[in-house]
Amino acid sequence: MGHVGDGAAGRRILVAEDEVLAAMAIEDELLREGYEVMLAPDGQAALDAARASMPDLLLTDLRMPRLDGAGLIRALRALSPGLPVVVMTGYAPSGGVEAFRGVGEGPVALFTKPIDMDALLAELRGLLAARDGG
């Protein structure tokens, strides 16, 4: 874990995931990486949390109660244009990443479950670095 703190300090990641066990493990990993983590059990809770404090990146499931992933992305992008998004899903939407072109401007990465956590962490670093660069 030599890279703890590399650009992660103070970065806030909003995790929207209704599977509590998965959410807890992801929170653990992100905290270990030095990120601040906001955990939400569904889309609506995530949106409410973001309204209180806008995250730097959204890590979200697609299928969730109350407000689904696509709705959440659209709502957050309206508040924070260009917000980077990482989608985690048990489905593989046809068209892949292309399917998210209609939910507002900004980078999207797609991960199918079970998630390769190392690849996910690398993606988060890349997206956040790109945001700083832009």
Query: Using CB under 8 A as the criterion, which residues of the chain lie in contact with another protein when the complex forms?
Result: 19, 21-22, 25-26, 28-29, 32, 63, 88-98, 110, 112-115, 117
Q: Which residues pair with 85 in a beta bridge?
A: 58, 108
Closer CB to another protein, 22 or 80, in the complex? 22
Closer CB to another protein, 28 or 48, in the complex? 28
**Closest CB 79 distance from another protein, rounded Å:** 28
Closer CB to another protein, 52 or 94, in the complex? 94
**Closest CB 31 distance from another protein, rounded Å:** 11
As a whole number of angstroms, the distance between CA 75 and CA 91 comes to 22
**Closest CB 113 distance from another protein, rounded Å:** 4
Give which of 39, 30, 40, 105 is closest to 73, Cα–Cα.
Answer: 105
As a whole number of angstroms, the distance between CA 42 and CA 64 comes to 5
Closer CB to another protein, 65 or 90, in the complex? 90
Give the DSSP letter string of 71-110. Answer: HHHHHHHHHSTT--EEEEESS--TTGGGGGTTS-SS-EEE
As a whole number of angstroms, the distance between CA 76 and CA 84 comes to 10
**Closest CB 26 distance from another protein, rounded Å:** 6
